[in-house]
A = this chain, B = another copy of it.
Amino acid sequence: MAKERVLRFGLPKGSLQEATVEKMGKAGFNVSISSRSYIPYVDDSELEIRMIRAQEISRYVEHGYLDCGITGHDWIQENGSKVHEVGEFQFSKATRQPARWVLAVPEDSPIKTVKDLQGKRIATEVVNLTKKYLRQHKVKAEVEFSWGATEVKAHELVDAIVEITETGSSLRANNLRIVDTLLYSTPRLISNHESWADQWKRKKIETMAMLLKGALDAEAKVGLKMNIAKKNLDSLLQTLPALRNPTISNLSLEGWVAVETIIDEHVVRELIPALKAAGAEGIIEYPLNKVVY
């Protein structure tokens, strides 16, 4: 009897943990984490899950202790890990803005550009990224590792910080001004090159990538369905390119069709008024679990 094969998969422990486990569930892989065991349960005997800090996942994937994992583009870069990038996800639905690492200073600081950092001191969690950025700008400055609460330090302890933000509101609340953006970061599915070369593992990774992507895409999308008189259909479709490739089915009521499509949720608020204006009736929006084109 052939021994069952297994894929070792790293998920980020900590602040992203709950969200990631939820996404895995939406993709069809139910993970339960027990406080008594460091190995989570997953309802797929071909998977073994490990919860590891996002900062370290790329390192352990690169070393081969994990076949693959989900982590941020930022930490892959910071660690300089040589891994295969299988796919990119967009986790944060709330802000629809990618996370980014920015150079920030107090609002009243004389520092206006990266050039003004010459000879200064900068605190950050991403020491390598920051040093690389300074080298690119030919600026010499001291970069020190910050264990946390970095935003507070900018006012007294250092001259500038490099910190992560989405909407910038936490920086504003700390009276900090953004000087420059070093890096945009989104979650990535990565594997090591050896696992990727193994046919069974690669197929398993690709399936998971497809399902995760289907589940994550579905978070930012909705189904839209409406009825319209056939005579208005063309003008509706011309006016509204957002309704790409809709499913149009005949209704039993003569002269009417049902139009159904999948669209980005964030355009709904502009689309619905326009649809009504174009003659659509009985518009409904419904949620999706997965979208796979």
Q: What residues of chain A have their CB less than 8 Å away from a CB belonging to chain B?
A: 13-14, 27-30, 32, 34-38, 41, 43-44, 50-53, 55-56, 59-60, 63, 65, 93-96, 144, 146-149, 152, 155-157, 167, 169-170, 172-174, 207, 210-211, 214, 218, 222-223, 227, 245, 247-253, 257-258, 262, 265-266, 268-269, 272-273, 276, 281-293
Establish whether residues B28 and A266, one from each chain, have CB atoms under 8 Å apart when the complex forms.
yes
- Can you pick out 18 interface pairs between chain A and chain B where the beta carbons lie within 8 Å of each other? A13-B149, A34-B169, A37-B173, A41-B167, A41-B169, A43-B94, A52-B149, A210-B273, A211-B268, A247-B282, A252-B257, A268-B290, A281-B293, A282-B293, A284-B290, A284-B292, A285-B288, A285-B289
Find the B residue at minimum CB distance from A25.
Answer: B94
Find the B residue at minimum CB distance from A146.
Answer: B56
A157–B52 CA distance with the chains assembled, in angstroms: 10
Establish whether residues A156 and B13, one from each chain, have CB atoms under 8 Å apart when the complex forms.
no
A269–B210 CA distance with the chains assembled, in angstroms: 9
Residues of B within 8 A of A146 (CB): 56
A144–B60 CA distance with the chains assembled, in angstroms: 11
Chain multiplicity (copies): 6
Residues of B within 8 A of A257 (CB): 252
6 A-B pairs with least C-beta separation: A36-B173, A28-B269, A285-B290, A248-B252, A53-B147, A285-B289
Residues of B within 8 A of A95 (CB): 30, 32, 41, 43
Establish whether residues A38 and B284, one from each chain, have CB atoms under 8 Å apart when the complex forms.
no
A134 to chain B, nearest CB (A): 20
Establish whether residues B247 and A227, one from each chain, have CB atoms under 8 Å apart when the complex forms.
yes
When the two chains form the complex, which single residue of B13, B147, B222, B290 contacts A272, counting CB atoms closer than 8 Å? B290
Establish whether residues A258 and B266, one from each chain, have CB atoms under 8 Å apart when the complex forms.
no
Establish whether residues B172 and A37, one from each chain, have CB atoms under 8 Å apart when the complex forms.
yes
